[in-house]
Amino acid sequence: MSQTTVTPPFSILEPGLPILSQQKITWNLDDYSVSESSQNNTIPCTDRLLVIPNFLSSEECSDLLDQCAKKQQFESVAAEYPQSYRNSERVIFKDKAIANRLWKLFEENLNCEDLSRNVHPFGLDSAGRWVACGVNECLRFSKYVEGNYFRPHIDGQFVRNDHERSIYTLLIYLNDDFEGGETRFMKPFNDDDLRVAQQKEQQDLTVVKVKTTSRRNREMEKKRAKMGIPPSCQEIESAQPTSPSTSEAQKHFHLLYTLKPSLGMCALFNHDLFHEGMVVTKGTKLILRTEIMFKRVDSKTVPRDEGFEKSTLYQKIAAMLNESDALEKRGQVGEATKLYISAQDLLMKSGRSMDHLLNKSYFHYKSSSYKKPNVLDYIENELTELPEEMLLHVFSFLSDKDMCKKILTLNKYFNALGRSPQLWQKIYRRNWSDDKTFGYLKQQQHRDDLEDWYFTTITRRYFEKEFVTVCIDMRTKKTMYGLFNSENEKTVESMVSYRIGGHYSFFGLHRCVLGSKQSLRPCPCLHTSGTLKDIKALQFFVSLIYKDLSLCHERHPLLCSLPPQWMKDEETYRQVLSMMMEMRIPAACMAPRHLLVAMAHQLPTCIVIEWDDCGISVSAVIDNFLNRADTKFLQMVTDEITLERLVKRLFVSEHSFIPSSITSFISGKDIHTRKQLLENIIVTGNWKEEYTSLLSVALKDKLELPQSCSIVVGNTFDAYYGAKIYCCLPDFRSKCTFWPGKE
């Protein structure tokens, strides 16, 4: 994609700015014809329009059209719309690669944070903080030949789920060798506008003018008729015209801007901004339309009306849209379109994209009409006049407890402002500045604004107070354990020791103790192969860890690392989890060991190669997730391994264990994922220095690793430190299995 730098002049429309409208547009809903008349009104803008010339180069536009041609042929939209409303042709297909390229170009040249600030999807259930997260992969290419047009309309949202919806339309012009075809942007008349227009018309009726059609206009009407264009509304004015405020068959608009397309130009605007594709008078216009997708990042904490689907308004809109779909399937596209337009109007009335940006009072609780405003109302209203940057700076000196109790409860405005990600990121850093979790969360999202730092902070605070988790990283010979929020981790042999004989022992009369003790009979929890040996011994082992930490196992959750050799052993996994539930541990989680290793090194996508006491294992972690199929284990008695045998079995050829495992992991993955996997390789466990150097040379030789490849040498218990990060993640509870509360 071409490199384009976007500067302020490309901002055509911005919410709150005054716009001089010199043209009034009247749209007849009976036949969808459009007429214009002059005016000279200054109106407040309520929408956003950005225009980027040369967003794509000529070659890139041609490449997009070639890819479109390979998918399918353009088809008429006559089965969906009346010809008098829209008469173009269209192709629809999905392509994530194109969407990702477009999004990358936007990220490089547009401030996504500015585009996201205080904007919401229009319609219902739009509360919360919405952040731009990508370009919709559903691409719509449209072709407008001579005589084609698209009457005034707003664009529908693309709804992936409740918390991922589109807000902005992305419109790219793929050619400019045509005439006409401009895009007009307009704002509907409000009630005051209609009242003023009605008064003006009544004043104009003192002199009745009758217009006659000239020969030139008659010829133009004939040409429009041949092209299938509805007649223009140059009708003879009546002495008693229909009042604009009472006519339901007309919509009136202020013309805001007329955009003349050019090759590679991009227009970005909110869906609920009315616009019109004007008639193409010569040649063919080709465009690509998709959307900028937004994610509701505070979905877990924002106050929402969970019952909005039961509201009368929602039911009415849903019924209208369902009926519109049914009419379209029966071929009644005229009636279907009218019903669809009415449903969109209702959605717009229930909430506009820029409402929150335009009016702070939108957030205020409204006092009852019979109740006089109190002092608190006055103070709150005065505070909202301060710049948000100043308020956030003041809030940054408060503790998270004070923020939650004293600021977020004031009103809707302060509840929204007080959950600012920048503010809560500072609070999180202030409380846990040296914690690796902070760096992991930043790297996980790539952008700070995609992390709900408010939710992350209060969740972490809750975990430290009420959900204090015990972390255990068990290996064949040694185990490391401790509390997730403590630096006092301990190491012990992976076994319990039973008392021998009935006489007195230095360790007392307890049946067993943790680890290996002289004069006691050892009972390892695992075989030398790493598989489970004795479930009862493991149960005692976990109980003794809780006892050693002076904790009650019925009050503290448990996180255990899942060894690679257990990844495909469902029976062992269920057996161990059942044992934890029998112990009444309130919540238990078993996370793959190599996933925890990746978290310890803050590499969301990487290859992990581990040399354990019982063998060699290789895994591919992708976007902080480890699939069971992406782990391979080779059992080896490491005490007997010589350097020559290690070289021959693991590295010598591309069919050796490690190169072949990595090759199988990267096959079938997309180019970006493959590149990340080969760039980030973690070597952890019992590797000696000479083996690590050998591994590095062999991998670069057999796998043709990129120059940017980084081979990170870890430590034996990396997984334990990764577990401490895992426990702090906001979604940790969702990964746990909870004790059901019964035997």
The answer on pLDDT for 607 being more than 80 is yes
pLDDT of 363:
42
Written as one string, the DSSP assignment of 130-175 is EEEEEE-SEEEEEEE-TT--EEEE-PPPPEEETTEEEEEEEEEE--
Question: Six-digit token pair at 60?
Answer: 């890139």
- The closest of 119, 120, 67, 115 to 95, measured between CA atoms, is 67
| Residue that wins the pLDDT comparison between 310 and 630 | 630
- The closest of 460, 403, 401 to 428, measured between CA atoms, is 460
Neighbours of 543 (CB within 10 A): 16
SS3 of residue 558 by DSSP: strand
- Quote the CA–CA distance of 719 and 672 in Å, as a whole number: 26
Average pLDDT, rounded, for the chain:
81
- Quote the CA–CA distance of 273 and 168 in Å, as a whole number: 10
Burial of 518 (0-12, 13-18, 19+ CB in 10 A): exposed
Condensed to tens digits (0 to 9), the pLDDT of residues 8-41 reads: 348 899 988 899 999 999 999 989 999 999 999 9
pLDDT of 219:
60
Which region among 304-318, 473-487, 494-508, 511-525 has the lowest average model confidence (pLDDT)? 494-508
Read off the DSSP letter of residue 7. Answer: -
Q: Which domains does the chain have, with CATH numbers?
A: 22-297+309-349 (2.60.120.620), 467-596+727-738 (3.30.420.40), 602-713 (3.30.420.40)
pLDDT of 509:
39
Cα 726 to the center of its chain, rounded Å = 21
Which region among 148-157, 431-440, 675-684 has the lowest average model confidence (pLDDT)? 431-440
pLDDT of 649:
66
| Residue that wins the pLDDT comparison between 502 and 499 | 499
Confidence bin at 261 (pLDDT 50/70/90): very high
pLDDT of 115:
84
| Residue that wins the pLDDT comparison between 642 and 325 | 325
Condensed to tens digits (0 to 9), the pLDDT of residues 378-427 reads: 445 566 677 888 888 888 888 888 888 888 888 777 888 888 888 888 88
- The closest of 31, 429, 88 to 233, measured between CA atoms, is 31
pLDDT of 243:
41
pLDDT of 216:
56
- Quote the CA–CA distance of 158 and 211 in Å, as a whole number: 46
**CA distances for 263 relative to 9, 138, 159, angstroms:** 19, 22, 30
- Quote the CA–CA distance of 486 and 463 in Å, as a whole number: 13
Measured in Å, how far apart are the chain's first and last C-alpha atoms? Answer: 61
pTM equals 0.60
Bridge partners of residue 526, in order along the sequence: 532
- The closest of 710, 627, 719 to 669, measured between CA atoms, is 627
Average pLDDT value for residue range 570-581: 91
User: How much of the chain exceeds pLDDT 70, in percent?
Assistant: 80
- Quote the CA–CA distance of 423 and 301 in Å, as a whole number: 16
The answer on pLDDT for 165 being more than 80 is yes
pLDDT of 359:
52
- Helix or strand run (H / E) with residue 647: none
Q: Which of 88-92, 228-232, 615-619 has the highest mean pLDDT?
A: 88-92
Average pLDDT value for residue range 581-593: 91
The answer on pLDDT for 689 being more than 50 is yes
Written as one string, the DSSP assignment of 396-425 is TTS-HHHIIIIITTS-HHHHHHTT-HHHHH
The answer on pLDDT for 375 being more than 60 is no
Residues 6+ apart with CB under 8 A from 191: 245
pLDDT of 639:
55
| Residue that wins the pLDDT comparison between 438 and 50 | 50
The answer on pLDDT for 504 being more than 50 is no
Condensed to tens digits (0 to 9), the pLDDT of residues 511-545 reads: 688 888 877 888 999 988 888 998 999 999 999 99
Average pLDDT value for residue range 695-713: 77
Cβ contact 90:75 at 8 Å: yes
- Quote the CA–CA distance of 700 and 590 in Å, as a whole number: 33
SS3 of residue 469 by DSSP: coil
pLDDT of 201:
65
Average pLDDT value for residue range 599-628: 90
**CA distances for 283 relative to 148, 173, 177, 178, angstroms:** 10, 14, 7, 4
Condensed to tens digits (0 to 9), the pLDDT of residues 206-259 reads: 544 444 455 556 665 655 555 555 555 444 333 344 444 445 688 999 999 999
Condensed to tens digits (0 to 9), the pLDDT of residues 310-321 reads: 788 888 988 999
- Quote the CA–CA distance of 144 and 79 in Å, as a whole number: 16
Confidence bin at 305 (pLDDT 50/70/90): low
The answer on pLDDT for 60 being more than 90 is yes
| Residue that wins the pLDDT comparison between 703 and 348 | 348
The answer on pLDDT for 702 being more than 80 is no
pLDDT of 8:
37
| Residue that wins the pLDDT comparison between 139 and 2 | 139
- Quote the CA–CA distance of 594 and 680 in Å, as a whole number: 13
Average pLDDT value for residue range 294-320: 80
Average pLDDT value for residue range 468-476: 93
Length of the chain: 743
Helix then strand then coil, % of the chain, to nearest 5: 35, 25, 40
